[in-house]
Structure 1
Amino acid sequence: MVAQRRLVLGALTVVSLLCIYVLAGNLQTLSWSVEPLKRLAHGSQWRDLAPSPSPTAPRGHARTTGTPSAHTSSLANCRVSNISGADHVGTTTRTGRPSLLPPRQEDALTADPFIGDAYMSEDVPPQTDCPDAIRSRVPKTEFTKRFLKNIPVLQWSKDATLDEHRRLSRYVGAHGWGGVTFEELAETLAVLNSSANSVMLDDWKRRGPASCCIRCAVVGNGGILKDSKKGKEIDDHHYVFRTNGAIMAGFEEDVGARTTHYTFSTNTLMNSMRSYASLGYRGPPQSQETRYVFLPDHDRDYLLMKAAAVHAPVQRGPERGIDPSRYFGKDVSANKLKMYHPDFIRYLRNRFLPSNTLRSKYKNLYRPSTGAVMLLAALHTCDQVSAYGFMTPDYRRYSDHYYDRSYRPVGFYINHDLRLEMLLWQQLHAAGLIKLYMRS
């Protein structure tokens, strides 16, 4: 009898130890480690996510990764056609039942309700058969665990449901619908009710064949573009993305003249019009091929969006009474308006640009810069991306903007982490996912 009791006691001890071991292992997987990042020695910034390009590699080409450069495909040089009008493609709309993408279990910070590392997932069929597209290259890089191919980049009418509003109202600013009532949201998104509003490159079917690789130029306003002579190269892309104070008149040789997608928030638009009026900025570019992509920071973005779509003055808020046609032209249609999905902005913050500001009392102020959102949106929608006018490690050599009349140093503020963004561009370039313009 004593022997039997000892045997049972021993078995219970073994089982208990096994349970403790398994529990400890599960807890360990929740410890936060945002992809192997090394801290910078000077505090709150981050070291490179991946090795820097080899110093002997030719400038402007990706570091060797065992696969060809994302910009050497024989299909890359499809003809560019300047599309007029706002016709859209019905074959590229989202399909399948929306579902939530689960958080990354290796990140303990995902348990913080403020972070919200779970996102809407929907099937968006590829628009091309490009053999060397970014989506096919990501799995071969260190970005594969962070990149979500089914993340919705844009929000539109079908996203305005009570369940979604309850879910996203937990997040403030650009990261959710906190502060936006369901009525305001539904009224605004109701005008974004065509397939053109749900996909970024809505006119691709008229621009090129499915076998072509969609080439996008994403143009920042950095001083590195001054005297670059990159204007023709930029305009030769299928699509040209610009943001905020995108002054082109007089600078076409360096920055080009086309704009297919203009990204802004109402706040950054108004600030640009005040700050750069003396330098020639009169408002967003206007052309038949230009689409306007709102980054919704506040309810005022939803109000301006709705007013622009229905050709009426803004109803309330700081822009009350303003006629949106002064910014977007009298002929703007709802099909030319788009709005970033808050899940997409939060996903970029959490997985690509997790600044240490998220651990500070200023965490509510932080989001990726408007230019960063634009560049990463292109990364998720284009086959090949070339970035111009973004900050590089030698940024002190250049003025803040290419149109500055005298040298102005780059300004750093708590709401964006420009050094972290700079490091990310270096790593995306090294991984062959973008081609970043840098000077020798």
Structure 2
Amino acid sequence: MEVVAQTLQKCPSSIRKKIMATEFKDIFLETIPVLQWAQHAREDEYQRLRRYTGAHGWKEVSWDVLKASLSLLNTSANGFLFDTHIQGPGAPAPCIRCAVVGNGGILNGSRMGRTIDAHDYVFRVNGAITAGFEKDVGNRTSFYVFSTNTMMNSMNSYAAEGFQHPPQTPETRYVFLPDHDRDYLLLWAAVTHQRVDRGRDKGAWPQKYFGQDLLAEKFKMLHPDFVRYLRNRFLWANILATPWWALYRPSTGAVMLLAAIHTCDEVSAFGFLTPDYQAYSDHYFDRTRKRVQFFTNHDLKKEMKLWQRLQRSGLLSLYTGKEGT
């Protein structure tokens, strides 16, 4: 697991210091890799991980595509989430405080924007619309977490609401949650400044999605072992005992929040599902009220219960409405 060692001695409230006294002590693995990068582009790793499908492995990715893409992630910034704390000038912050922002309707009218932006890092996902909603959701984006599939779907679904592309700021880093070869192909195209050269997105310009400043340091990629670990230890669901087991994985928002739990010292979550979800529209940016949607490939109610358990354990501060967090 990625650990920013400099902060652990200085941050008494660190999640990693508290977790062994909670119900998660036997679930949490400190050594699990959060990110994959050039050092993982090995044939022995490929043979091991090609047994697993989707976001849990490399079965849908050829060795040539995998090697060409991962080999480009060859800076220390690609191996650590918080490259600025490791490489930047000055001493690291005593505690790394992260705000993880979902898109739930609970944030509409919340006036939490200033609180969100005051964190060291801000994570966002899917249709991460901030323009016009700054008072409720803030405007900073340190990490945009996505699969190519969820990003494309969000641009198609929320274009009318203003989501034309992911956030593009000097601060923003792009964190792939890869679930087949189109993620590795888009990564290769972005870092080499070329169009996607094959597959479903052939001909696409990465600059459309990520802007013109396409440095390798701006891209990170979650490790399949980490996603499989989250599924098996934190979010095991009944569907895994059925013929439809291969469809299931944690939602992109859940992976984002749990990645923060595994790397930040303190985590606050905003816009995630709470027990009174029926009182809110599906998204904070909805123009008309929409019911929360549930899908077969995710278990959002199980995820909701996990957020409550993490909050009760003191490992997460969860925004639950205007009355408090």
The structure with the larger Rg is 1
In the other structure, the counterpart of 1:156 is 37
Measure, in 2, the Cα distance between the counterparts of 1:416 and 1:326.
Answer: 29
The offset of 1:124, in angstroms, is 4.4
Measure, in 2, the Cα distance between the counterparts of 1:208 and 1:398.
Answer: 43
The offset of 1:125, in angstroms, is 5.2
The offset of 1:123, in angstroms, is 7.3
Equivalent position amino acid for 2:5 in 1: P
Count of residues in Structure 1 that have an aligned counterpart in Structure 2: 319
Measure, in 2, the Cα distance between the counterparts of 1:183 and 1:220.
Answer: 35
Equivalent position amino acid for 2:34 in 1: V
Q: How does 1:349-388 map to 2 (within 5 A)?
A: 349-388=231-270
Matched, 1:126 2:5: yes
Residue pair 1:124, 1:150 contacting (<8 A) in 2 also? no
SS of the residue 1:250 aligns to: coil
Residue pair 2:2, 2:34 contacting (<8 A) in 1 also? no
SS of the residue 2:268 aligns to: strand
Measure, in 2, the Cα distance between the counterparts of 1:324 and 1:210.
Answer: 32
SS of the residue 2:17 aligns to: helix
The offset of 1:389, in angstroms, is 0.2
In the other structure, the counterpart of 2:176 is 294
SS of the residue 2:175 aligns to: strand
Measure, in 1, the Cα distance between the counterparts of 2:91 and 2:31.
Answer: 23
The offset of 1:244, in angstroms, is 0.6
Change (3 A) 1:316 1:330: same
Measure, in 1, the Cα distance between the counterparts of 2:187 and 2:100.
Answer: 23
How well do the aligned residues superpose, as a CA RMSD in angstroms?
1.2
In the other structure, the counterpart of 1:348 is 230
Q: Deviations over 1:334-373 (max 9, x none)?
A: 1000000000000000000001110111111100000000
Matched, 1:248 2:121: no
Normalised by the length of structure 1, the TM-score is 0.71
SS of the residue 2:256 aligns to: helix
Q: Deviations over 1:378-424 (max 9, x none)?
A: 00010000000000000000000000011111111110000000000
The runs of 4+ residues in structure 1 deviating greater than 4 Å are 122-125
Residue pair 1:188, 1:302 contacting (<8 A) in 2 also? yes
Equivalent position amino acid for 1:358 in 2: L
Q: How does 1:102-117 map to 2 (within 5 A)?
A: none
Change (3 A) 1:215 1:170: same
Q: Among 390, 394, 416, which residue is 2:298 paired with?
A: 416
After TM superposition, the structure 1 stretch with the greater mean CA deviation from structure 2, 408-417 or 208-217, is: 208-217
After TM superposition, the structure 1 stretch with the greater mean CA deviation from structure 2, 406-415 or 198-207, is: 198-207
In the other structure, the counterpart of 1:315 is 197
Q: Deviations over 1:147-168 (max 9, x none)?
A: 0111110000000111111111
Equivalent position amino acid for 2:122 in 1: V
The offset of 1:209, in angstroms, is 3.0
Residue pair 1:168, 1:177 contacting (<8 A) in 2 also? yes
SS of the residue 2:249 aligns to: coil
In the other structure, the counterpart of 2:83 is 202
Residue pair 2:281, 2:290 contacting (<8 A) in 1 also? yes
Equivalent position amino acid for 2:115 in 1: E
In the other structure, the counterpart of 1:223 is 105
Normalised by the length of structure 2, the TM-score is 0.96
